[in-house]
Amino acid sequence: MTSATQSYLFNTGRGFESQNYLGCHVETDGQVSFRVWAPHAQAVGVVGTFNDWQAAPLSPVGATGIWQGLFSQVKLGDLYKFEITSATGEKQLKIDPFAQQFERKPGDAAIVVAPIAEQWHDSLWLARRKKSNPANRPINIYEVHLGSWRRHDNGDYYTYAELAEELIPYAHQMGYSHLELMPVMEHLLDASWGYQQMGYFAPTSRFGTRDEFLSFVDQCHQANLGVIVDWVPGHFIRNYDALYQYDGTPTYEYADPNQADNRRWGAWNFDLGKTQVQSFLISSALYWLNTCHLDGLRVDAVSNMLYLDYDEGREGQVNQYGDNRNLAGIAFLQELNTEIFKRHPDVLMIAEESSAFPQVTGRVDQGGLGFNYKWNMGWMHDTLDFFEMDPLYRHDHFNLLTFAFVYMFDEQFILPFSHDEVVHGKKSLMHKMPGDRYNQFANLRTMMAYMAAFPGKQLNFMGAEWGQFLEWRDWDQLEWVDLKDPLNRQMQHYTAALNQVYHANRPLWELDHESTGIVYSNTDDAASSTMGFIRQAKRKYSFVIAAFNFVPVERRQYRIGVPYPGEYELLLNTEAKAFGGTWTQLETTFTAVNRPYKGQPASFEATLPAMGALLIRPVKVKGESKK
């Protein structure tokens, strides 16, 4: 593709592989090219270790706003930046927006790297991914912050190679289907957790090189682990030597300071209506999916892109129709998802969207945003509010659980217990639970079973799998010392067992987004604070009964309605001794008889454990009973 064509596509918002043209590239003859978009600059030069940081001038490419130069003295590993001279004559050093590797913080110079030569070994994984529909597959995600999952005794980060050695087998053994990495795109401020990004094409150098990151992804796939990464197309790092006023004028951000300034997060908002910004961001998304073989992106802060007045300080902003929708942001998200699914219909595009904006996972040609998943923030908040409550009062607030049944199929949902819920004084999941230490674990086991049985895919943040007591701290590793405690070890064992049950039973995931995937057998018994429902698979006789007791009072002779008489077996009892409960002998088999109950033609009795849950499936049923 010619330089003129590349420039045209980038400027018209259709340059979706712009990183192959802009930025720094080692050419076939060994020379190194530099290209950068700075449309209002008076002059542009490149500075680096190869020229003692004295600017070597670049030339404008016609009237495209792009500047370029070709140099023979540049070597692999050299550091560089662009020197931008604004229209008023001010000079400032700026990062390369398209750099694929940066020096380690606190520096922010880009590094000259060779073209990617990764020898991938994940063809089997990618082939299976193409043949499967994620909606009909088990998805339980382990959300990880790489900088604090584990650290060395001296506080140093684990490298991508060390994480591959330890994190991958751990997640696999625990039964997770995917890792979701909090942003690995290059960023400077640790406290931002990666959500104030600088390098939209560069894995962070904290843990190693670009190629070492690619090897990490490859090894995940070889271990049958998908990789999702958080990505932030709404706003970018505040630093003046990054994207802000790149050529001395608003370049990537809005021209209106009120729209550009994101006070909520201390960042700058991208001008999503600008065609060059669209090329930049969609190229970034496709780079991670194409070049880095990621299985999906979780798009952060979608609400900030949907509403003109979402951020404090932007009140009163309206569009030409008189409402607060950000029409440019909506159009950008629709274009983003259209282009991604055109190339990768099998990936996950997940919206972290906290409002009730309609059709987030709806089809673009029907007015939707085009994501295939949305975090169910309402379910998450209501469920945590319910479980944090003293069990004595739960019967008066049962609507916190039942309200989600009203809208559970409005979108394709992921149920998230994410990092945001275990930080800034919110306490860890285990610490949120009421009662003494034993009852805290009993509540946590029950809540995890409730998530596994509820329609929707699922996500848990690291540390929750064993019930870490301290809330998450991004500057230190998880409290692995907890696992010396028997209750924490048993909780970890429970999580692995629950994940195994989840994966092995199609009713728990095959019809997650269809109303036929659930039968409401006993969801209105607030007085006893118990609940039961049936999860159904495509096959008629393939289903799982889920029964929950949300108070610490054992329910003996608890009757459970089922579709057919016959023999049933226990899949999981959250109060089993091996999980940290009190049951040393489990009821493992149940016989359903032709006794109608709660709208079902047959039923059986079971002992429902105090503050516990049962998952049960049919073994041999006698065919459909007549009411």
Kindly list the catalytic residues: 300, 352
CA distances from 56 to 29, 197, 245, 330, 441 (A): 20, 28, 22, 41, 63
Cis peptide before 134 (omega within 30 of 0): no
Q: Which helix (H) or strand (E) holds 5?
A: helix 3-11
Asked if residue 221 lies in contact with residue 125, where contact means CB atoms within 8 angstroms, the answer is: yes
Compute the distance between CA of residue 318 and CA of residue 324 in angstroms, rounded to an integer.
5
Compute the distance between CA of residue 74 and CA of residue 32 in angstroms, rounded to an integer.
6
Longest dimension (CA), the chain: 87
DSSP string spanning 136-162?
GS--EEEEE-HHHH-B-TTSPBPPHHH
Q: Which helix (H) or strand (E) holds 493?
A: helix 486-504
DSSP class of 342: H
Token representation of residue 332 = 């950008």
Compute the distance between CA of residue 181 and CA of residue 82 in angstroms, rounded to an integer.
30
Asked if residue 513 lies in contact with residue 409, where contact means CB atoms within 8 angstroms, the answer is: yes
Name the nearest CA neighbour of 353 among 373, 335, 337, 367.
373
Name the nearest CA neighbour of 264 among 336, 200, 192, 333.
192
Name the nearest CA neighbour of 280 among 253, 240, 308.
253
Q: ∠210-50-91 over CA atoms, to 5°? A: 95
Strands 226-231 and 178-181: parallel
* H-type alpha helices, 369-471: 377-388, 399-402, 404-407, 429-432, 437-453
- Token pair 């449309």 is found at 39
DSSP string spanning 36-65?
EE-TT-SEEEEEEGGGTT-PEE-EE-TTSS
Query: Identity (one letter) of the amino acid at 366?
Result: Q
Asked if residue 587 lies in contact with residue 556, where contact means CB atoms within 8 angstroms, the answer is: no
Name the nearest CA neighbour of 242 among 36, 94, 81, 38.
94
End-to-end CA distance of the chain: 69
